[in-house]
Amino acid sequence: MDGAIKRITEREQAYVMEVLNTQFRASLSGSMTRRLEEKFAARFGAKYAISHVNGTATLHAALAAAGIGPGDEVIVPPLTMASTSLAVLHANAVPIFADVDPDTFTIAPADIEKKISACTKAIIPVALYGLSPDMDAIMKIAARHNLVVIEDDAECFLGYYKSRLVGSIGHMASFSFQSSKHITAGEGGMLITDDEALAGRVRRFNSLGYAMLEGGAGKGKITKDVIQDPAYERHISVGWNYRMPELCAAVALAQVERLDELVDRRLRVAGLYDEAIKGCDWLVKQQVPEGYKHSYWTYVLKLENAGQFSWHDFRRKYMELGGDGIYGAWQPTYLEPAFSKQRFYPRGCPTLCPHYGGQLQEYGPGLCPVAESIQPKLLQFKTNYLDMNMARKKAEALAETIRYFGRRR
């Protein structure tokens, strides 16, 4: 496929019309969400898939299902979207940051081991930019310390780790359908697991703690005689209303059915960038270890030019030559004001852990020196071009930018 593809096709539109034609009648609602969950579970080889309103709610629900609560520590990477750590705060737990690998930029297993304490209960490794972290090492650490592993795969659809599909390795895996992701419903998320007990707790947590969902991973069935009875007790636990709307499910279902096409487009765009940077020794690509398959939510280069010109200089010239705006990497999460200025207080989560003796967990420079050194150098290039001719122009602009600065060296 050399030309353009559509982000939203007639298939998505047809499924949306199916939902609208039900007039949102309660007796007919839920069918599209169920179809999406079944299709997603089958595509990723999971026993259970539970849809959510977004890919942060999925992480919150996973932590709740794992029994994570006040005073518990969850190890997370600092170099990723802050939602990973914010979900830990939502669970009233404490984010503990482990540094990243200098070549893959993903969370470093050796530093995970160093950050484990008596309060550690879980690890959330992130498949950063579409690349899996070293999951074998992470799962071994988790087994030694009896920790739950929740994969954050928001940026990785159809990535592989040593022949295994990313999302199939941890105890649970979270995906996002936010608008920039490989597949989208505008918003939405999915959590998958093979553990029936975890799936049941996730389902109940994202559905207001409904009794009808107790003990089951699937959507509960209940007769009208029961639900209409004035003595019926509906809520057996506290839960959130994190359920995905049927209209979003309709779009997401069509996108799952088109998943190979949509991921393949990003891989092809990444291939164009690969050609553009050939022979350039001062732009260093995110390393893809042998046996891994990157899914290229975005294409990332590290600028290693010994200060001869700035990140901003490179971005400006790239845009002058026809490139789109290059995104910088997120600040290390613990340096964001919400963390460094402790703006989660008095919510209370970091004050309740006995490990800290009732003191606030402090976040600031120096926690993860590798991440802090890498972050200002990263150049994130878009891969979500629907038209390959447009993508070629952007790759040509990158090649020309490299030639421009190469002549100045």
Summarised one tens digit per residue, pLDDT across range 218-230 is 555 567 787 788 8
Does residue 208 surpass a pLDDT of 50? yes
The predicted pLDDT at position 210 comes to: 80
Question: Mind telling me the catalytic residues?
Answer: 181
Give, as one character, the DSSP assignment of residue 298. E
Tokens of 344: 């989660």
In this prediction, residues 126-146 reach a mean pLDDT of 98
User: pLDDT exceeding 70 applies to what percent of the chain?
Assistant: 91
Does residue 203 surpass a pLDDT of 80? yes
Does residue 337 surpass a pLDDT of 70? yes
Question: What does the alpha-carbon distance between residue 133 and residue 375 come to, in Å, rounded to a whole number?
Answer: 17
In this prediction, residues 169-178 reach a mean pLDDT of 98
In this prediction, residues 241-246 reach a mean pLDDT of 95
Does residue 127 surpass a pLDDT of 80? yes
Question: What does the alpha-carbon distance between residue 200 and residue 213 come to, in Å, rounded to a whole number?
Answer: 7
Three-state secondary structure string covering 206-256: CECCEHHHCCCCCCCCCCHHHHCCCCCCCECCCCCECCCCHHHHHHHHHHH
Does residue 212 surpass a pLDDT of 70? no
Comparing 69 with 29, the larger pLDDT belongs to: 69
- In the chain the domains, ranked by start, together with CATH numbers, are 10-258 (3.40.640.10), 261-329+372-408 (3.90.1150.10)
Beta bridge partners of 380: 300, 327
Instruction: Return the closest-CA partner of residue 388 out of 300, 261, 258.
Output: 261
Comparing 278 with 239, the larger pLDDT belongs to: 278
Question: What does the alpha-carbon distance between residue 343 and residue 310 come to, in Å, rounded to a whole number?
Answer: 32
The predicted pLDDT at position 71 comes to: 83
- Residue that is written with structure tokens 């899996």 in the block: 132
308 burial via Cβ count (<10 Å: 0-12, 13-18, 19+):
exposed
Question: What does the alpha-carbon distance between residue 269 and residue 259 come to, in Å, rounded to a whole number?
Answer: 16
In this prediction, residues 265-274 reach a mean pLDDT of 98
Per the prediction, the chain carries an average pLDDT of 92
Q: Are 246 and 19 in contact (CB under 8 A)?
A: yes
Phi-psi region of 146 (alpha: psi -120 to 50; beta: other; left: phi over 0): left
**Is residue 215 very low, low, confident or very high in pLDDT (cuts 50, 70, 90)?**
very low
Comparing 407 with 39, the larger pLDDT belongs to: 39
Comparing 219 with 63, the larger pLDDT belongs to: 63
**Is residue 194 very low, low, confident or very high in pLDDT (cuts 50, 70, 90)?**
very high
304 burial via Cβ count (<10 Å: 0-12, 13-18, 19+):
exposed
In this prediction, residues 328-351 reach a mean pLDDT of 80
What phi, psi does 334 have (nearest 5°)?
A: -70, -10
In this prediction, residues 373-390 reach a mean pLDDT of 97
In this prediction, residues 351-372 reach a mean pLDDT of 73
CA 160 to chain centre: 15
* pTM for this entry: 0.94
Does residue 159 surpass a pLDDT of 80? yes
**Is residue 346 very low, low, confident or very high in pLDDT (cuts 50, 70, 90)?**
low
270-323 confidence digits (pLDDT tens): 999 999 999 999 999 999 999 999 999 999 999 998 789 999 999 999 999 999
- Residue that is written with structure tokens 């659809």 in the block: 157
Does residue 349 surpass a pLDDT of 50? yes
Does residue 52 surpass a pLDDT of 90? yes
Comparing 207 with 269, the larger pLDDT belongs to: 269
